[in-house]
Every structure is written in structure tokens, then in C-alpha cells.
Amino acid sequence: MSRLVVVSNRVPVPTEKRPPQGGLAVAVLSALETRGGLWFGWNGKIAEDKSVVRTRYGNVEFATTALSRRDYDDYYRGFSNRVMWPLLHARLERMDYRRSYENGYRRVNQYLASALVPLLRPDDTIWIHDYHLIPLGLELRRAGCRQRIGFFLHTPFPPSDVFRALPHYRSLLMEFGAYDLVGLQTDVDLRGFINSVHYGVPGAKVSMKSVQIGSAPTGVAVFPISIDVDDVAATAAKGRKSSSGRRLLASLSGSDLVMGVDRLDYTKGLVPRFRAFERLLETRPAVRRKVVCLQIAQPSRGDVPGYQQMRRALDAAAGEINGRFAEYDWVPLRYLHKGFSHATILGFLSLARVGLVTPLRDGMNLVAKEFVAAQRPEDPGVLVLSELAGAARELDAAIIVNPYDLDDVADGLAKAIDMPVEERRRRWSAMMKVLRRNDIHRWRRRFLEALEDTRASRIQTLAPSATVGALANVAGPGRQP
Ligand code: F6P
């Protein structure tokens, strides 16, 4: 089996004391551990010395580099977070495009390619993750890489007329042509991508299985990311019995726990979520004192302007709701702006009667899946899930709500709180079946097998001597703004 090389923007190098945290990190590490390999990307630090540092954790090697202040500002804080993130989540009012950001995005992708090439072996399988790194495949082809290269987008892909709002969108779309395979989270994202190529790239041939931008087709398919179900269940069971789990349980004094966990991000719909909880308290006085809502909002991208403003809005909403409804011996909303270990969060989720996952738009949302896997089979909690999260395409036995309709979310919450145990078990079993069918291991296997297959057919399309040139030629002129 060939070596797997994973590239993602942020590489959270784990240590014995600090195991990997969070959806993408846990999923990618589990893929690497299964077959051994290399994980390459940014170490999360800002420094002028960008030399590559190599370390090991089990059978996985990490190669990381810092970003200079200018690169961090233009590529990460600028293009990735102020252009691509809002664009892909269809939040054009939040998009703040600048040419310097786009130049920085291309500069860093070129640099990452040049730093990665010396670490590669001819038979490696390269798997590139997320919107920070779309041009990386083409940069690697230009540097002569003939390896299999796949790309997976963790975020949504918007409809084509939204994507067209991105200046130079055509160049970015053409860069996808350097990949052997492009993976998306849901069929909705797949259609957005295919339509964007169809309407945006003159002469491109598209089908539901491939897009042909240059001389060879790029496979496209849906691979909904998932979780390690048994591992989540075991960690949650331990977390429930840990001292933090026991303290949380004791503090509830018999109230039902409604829980949300998210990065503090405007796509997660936290202010509307608070308002929906307020609507519940307002319209159903009998629920007061019987429920406590715990929202953990993990600090994220705090130096990106929209995030600071959103934090203030959330502080204000939480203060208002508690000011309005709290009593001297009961506080309805516990809002924590801080991070916890993955194990602690899973333990907390396993204690919740209701998992409240209401993003305004989300690629998948692994918290929804973790909430389900963390439940106790005999007395499971209920998932209230936004229909705009990718996870809703699979977890249709949740209570599906529209996060823009506060009454709908409040009704969903009331239904979840009142739901009899038989119905809770039925819904939970249906969702567990889905999770067991498509767990993190299957996600990885399916992607890598499809990459192998599409690479083989792509090579057949091209004359062997023309391969590198043809693959590198897909974006043509005009790649710089
Ligand atoms: O899932 C989207 C994503 O941008 C991942 O690529 C990333 O690991 C995570 O969110 C956290 O974001 P950031 O690296 O910007 O803190």
C-alpha cells in the first residue's frame, strides 16, 4: 500500500499530554494511523523562520512550517477566513475581498508546494483538505508531481450564482482540474460544484461523476465525513463518570440539559439559537426551571473582525435572556466562551437530554454525530438538528428544524424535552444505524479507493509522456489577479 500524505492548513501535532481534538483533526489522524503516513501543513505559529520541522506520533510523521506575519494576514486571516469561508457558506455580506489577500493565498500555496515536494516519494497518495489549499494540487503538478492527488472540501459548496461572486472564480474552478478526485460532503454541495464548473469554465465537460477542465477528467463524488462511533461512545462513557461529568450532573439538580457545542462562528447560528431558547421559555412557562441550556462556544478566529462583533452579540443575548428569566436559584442559560478537551465535551453530551445543533449552514457538523454516538441506549437524548447542516441529509430521524424560524426551533425543543422514551430509542437506533454504516473508517476507505480508481482511468485518458504537462496545464493563463 502506498504511503498516505495528508495536507491541511492547520496541523495540530498531538502529544501524549495533548491528544488530537476536533472533527477534522481526529478524522485525519485516524486515517493516517491506519496506514501510516505523513501530515503536512501549518503549525499554527506566526514566525519569519519558515523552515520545515519534522516530528513523530506513533506511526505518523508530522512536517510543519510557520507562516510569516504577512502570509498569515493575507492567506489565512484574509483570503481563507474573509473571502472563502463566507463565500462557501453563502454569506456574501460577510465577504471582504482584496487582491492582496488573493495574491497571498497563491503565494502561500506555492510556498507549501515547494516545501512539500522534497518530502514526497514517487508512489505517495496525496490527500489535500479544505478551502485554504485549492491551488495546491496544481502547484504540485507544476512542480512535476505525478502522484495520485485527491482533494476533500469540508465546508459546503454554494450554488453557482453565489460562487460567481468571487473575483477570478474561473481560475479557482480551473485549479480543481489538477486533482484526480474532488470529494464533497453532500449531494447539494456536489451539484453546486458541478454547476459552478459547468457555467463558469468555458468548454468544461461535466457529469454527476466527473468534471473535465483540462485534458483529463477529475472524478467528483460525495463522501459524508463521519466519526469513530465506538471510540466516541467509549470516551463519552468515561467522560460522564469523570469529575467534570459528575459535577455537571450534580449542578443540574434534576433539570434536563439542553446542550450545544460549537466554534464561535457566525455560521453556527448561535444568536438565533439563544433567541429560540428564549422563545421556548417565553411561550412555555411550564418548562422554566425544568431545563438548563449549556452552550459551549470555543474561541475561534478571534482576530478576524466579524468574530469579535459576534462575540459581543452573543454576550449581550445571553445576558438579556438570563436577566429576563433567571431566578435566585435557577439560571436558564450557561454560556461558556472557552474550550474543553474532546473527552470532557463527549462526557457532557452524553448527559444531555437534548443536543441542539442549529447552524445556519454547515458542511457536515460532527457534533451532531458525536451527540448521537455519546448517548446511552436505554435512555437516549434527542437531537434537534438544522436542516442546513450536512448531517441532516443522513440523520433524518433527528427533529429537523429551520434555524431561521425561531418558533420552529422552540417547538422542536419542546417536542424533544417531552418525547417519551420509546420514541427517543426508536429515533436514536435509526441514527446509530446510519452512523455505523458510514463511520470514519468507511469515509476514509471510500475516498482513498475512489482516488485509486479515478487515477487509473485518468492516466488511461492521457498519453504517458504528456501526463505531467497536461495535468499542469489545466489552469492556463490568468491565474494571478
Ligand atoms: O472545518 C472547517 C475548518 O476551517 C477546518 O479546516 C479547520 O480545522 C477548522 O474549521 C477550524 O478552523 P481554524 O483552523 O480556522 O481555526
Residue with cell string 462556544 = 297
- Mean pLDDT of the chain, nearest integer: 93
- Does the CA dihedral 440-445-446-447 come out positive or negative? positive
300 lines ligand 1 (CB under 6 A): yes
* Per-residue confidence (pLDDT) for residue 120, from 0 to 100: 98
Task: State the helix-helix crossing angle for 23-35 and 440-461, rounded to 10 degrees.
Answer: 70
Which residue CA neighbors atom 10 of ligand 1 most closely?
Answer: 24
Q: How far is the CA of 10 from the centre of ligand 1 (A)?
A: 7
21 lines ligand 1 (CB under 6 A): no
**How confident is the model over 24-71, as pLDDT tens digits?**
677 788 788 888 899 999 999 999 998 999 999 888 999 999 999 999
Beta strands 181-184 and 53-57 are unpaired
* Per-residue confidence (pLDDT) for residue 455, from 0 to 100: 81
- Cβ count within 10 A of residue 54: 11
**Phi and psi at residue 388, in whole multiples of 5°?**
-95, 10
* Per-residue confidence (pLDDT) for residue 198, from 0 to 100: 98
Closest CA to 258 of 388, 399, 363, 378: 399
* Per-residue confidence (pLDDT) for residue 80, from 0 to 100: 98
24 lines ligand 1 (CB under 6 A): yes
Higher confidence at residue 414 or residue 473? 414
Whole-number percent of the chain with pLDDT over 70:
94
Test site for ligand 1: of 7, 8, 13, 24, most ligand atoms within 8 A of the Cβ:
24
Q: Looking at the predicted structure, is the pLDDT value of residue 363 above 50?
A: yes
pTM greater than 0.85: yes
361 lines ligand 1 (CB under 6 A): no
Q: How far is the CA of 142 from the centre of ligand 1 (A)?
A: 27
Test site for ligand 1: of 67, 127, 130, most ligand atoms within 8 A of the Cβ:
130
Which residue CA neighbors atom 15 of ligand 1 most closely?
Answer: 301
106 lines ligand 1 (CB under 6 A): no
Q: Which atom of ligand 1 is the closest one to the Cα of 154?
A: 1
Beta strands 4-10 and 125-129 are parallel
What integer is the mean pLDDT of 111-123?
A: 97
Cα 260 to Cα 269, 277, 365, 480, distances in angstroms: 11, 11, 12, 42
* Per-residue confidence (pLDDT) for residue 476, from 0 to 100: 40
DSSP string, 407-466: HHHHHHHHHHHH--HHHHHHHHHHHHHHHHHT-HHHHHHHHHHHHHHHHHHHHHHS-GGG
Q: Which atom of ligand 1 is the closest one to the Cα of 132?
A: 6
- Ordered structural domains, the chain, with CATH: 4-226+440-471 (3.40.50.2000), 229-437 (3.40.50.2000)
Q: Which of 89, 129, 132, 154 is catalytic?
A: 154
Q: Looking at the predicted structure, is the pLDDT value of residue 341 above 70?
A: yes
Let me know if 198 is a catalytic residue. Answer: no
User: Cβ contacts of residue 181 below 8 Å, gap of 6+?
Assistant: 150, 151, 218, 219, 220, 221, 447, 450, 451, 454, 455
Q: Looking at the predicted structure, is the pLDDT value of residue 317 above 60?
A: yes
pLDDT tier at 224, thresholds 50, 70, 90: very high
**How confident is the model over 174-204, as pLDDT tens digits?**
999 999 999 999 999 999 999 999 999 999 9
**How confident is the model over 122-143, as pLDDT tens digits?**
999 999 999 999 999 999 999 9
CA separation for the pair 125, 47 (Å, rounded)? 30
What integer is the mean pLDDT of 415-425?
A: 98
* Per-residue confidence (pLDDT) for residue 223, from 0 to 100: 98
Test site for ligand 1: of 9, 77, 185, 307, most ligand atoms within 8 A of the Cβ:
9
Q: Looking at the predicted structure, is the pLDDT value of residue 466 above 90?
A: no
* Per-residue confidence (pLDDT) for residue 479, from 0 to 100: 44
CA separation for the pair 163, 195 (Å, rounded)? 10
Q: What are the cell numbers at 242?
A: 469523570
CA separation for the pair 342, 232 (Å, rounded)? 9
Which residue CA neighbors atom 14 of ligand 1 most closely?
Answer: 10
* Per-residue confidence (pLDDT) for residue 58, from 0 to 100: 87
* Per-residue confidence (pLDDT) for residue 36, from 0 to 100: 86
Let me know if 154 is a catalytic residue. Answer: yes
Which residue CA neighbors atom 9 of ligand 1 most closely?
Answer: 24
Q: How far is the CA of 417 from the centre of ligand 1 (A)?
A: 32
pLDDT tier at 22, thresholds 50, 70, 90: low
β-pair partners for 65: 42
CA separation for the pair 389, 365 (Å, rounded)? 6
Q: Which atom of ligand 1 is the closest one to the Cα of 10?
A: 14
